[in-house]
Amino acid sequence: MDENNNQDGEQIVIFEEKITKVNGEVAIKRYQRGKFLGKGGFAKCYEATNLENKKVMAAKIIAKSSLTRNRARQKLVSEIKIHKSLQNSNVVQFEHVFEDHENVYILLELCCNQTLNELIKRRKRLTEIEVQCYVAQMINALKYLHNNNVIHRDLKLGNLFLNKNMELKLGDFGLATKLEFEGEKKRTICGTPNYIAPEVLDGKVGHSFEVDVWSLGVIIYAMLIGKPPFETPDVKSTYKKIKMNQYSFPDQVQISDSAKQLIQKILVLDPSKRPTLDEIMAHSFMNSGGTIPKVLPLSTLACPPSIQ
Site residues (CB under 6 A) for ligand ADP?
Answer: 37-43, 45, 58, 92, 108-111, 161, 171-172, 174
Q: Which is nearer to ligand ADP, 31 or 285 (CB)?
A: 31
124 annotated as ligand-binding? no
Cβ at position 225, least distance to ligand ADP in Å: 23
Q: Which is nearer to ligand ADP, 117 or 208 (CB)?
A: 117
Cβ at position 200, least distance to ligand ADP in Å: 18
End-to-end CA distance of the chain: 51
Q: Which is nearer to ligand ADP, 71 or 204 (CB)?
A: 71
Catalytic residue among 8, 154, 212, 251: 154
Q: Which is nearer to ligand ADP, 132 or 177 (CB)?
A: 177
Rounded Cα distance, 300 and 306, in Å: 9
Where would I find the beta strands (DSSP E) of the chain?
A: 2-5, 11-20, 26-39, 43-50, 56-63, 94-99, 103-108, 150-151, 160-162, 168-170, 177-178
Cβ at position 38, least distance to ligand ADP in Å: 2
Cβ at position 72, least distance to ligand ADP in Å: 10
* Nearest alpha-carbon partner for 45 in 34, 59, 55, 56: 59
Q: Under DSSP, is residue 226 helix (H, G, I), strand (E, B) or coil?
A: coil
Q: Under DSSP, is residue 65 helix (H, G, I), strand (E, B) or coil?
A: helix
Residue pair 99/198 in contact (Cβ under 8 Å)? The answer is no
Cβ at position 171, least distance to ligand ADP in Å: 5
Q: Which is nearer to ligand ADP, 157 or 218 (CB)?
A: 157
Rounded Cα distance, 286 and 41, in Å: 35
Annotated catalytic, 8? no
User: DSSP readout, 143-211?
Assistant: HHHHHTTEE-----GGGEEE-TT--EEE---TT-EE--STT--B----S-GGG--HHHHSTTT-B-THH
Polymer length of the chain: 308
Residue pair 180/129 in contact (Cβ under 8 Å)? The answer is no
Q: Under DSSP, is residue 136 helix (H, G, I), strand (E, B) or coil?
A: helix
Q: Under DSSP, is residue 42 helix (H, G, I), strand (E, B) or coil?
A: coil
The residues assigned a catalytic role are 154
Instruction: Return binding residues for ATP.
Output: 64
Q: Which residues are annotated as a binding site?
A: 64
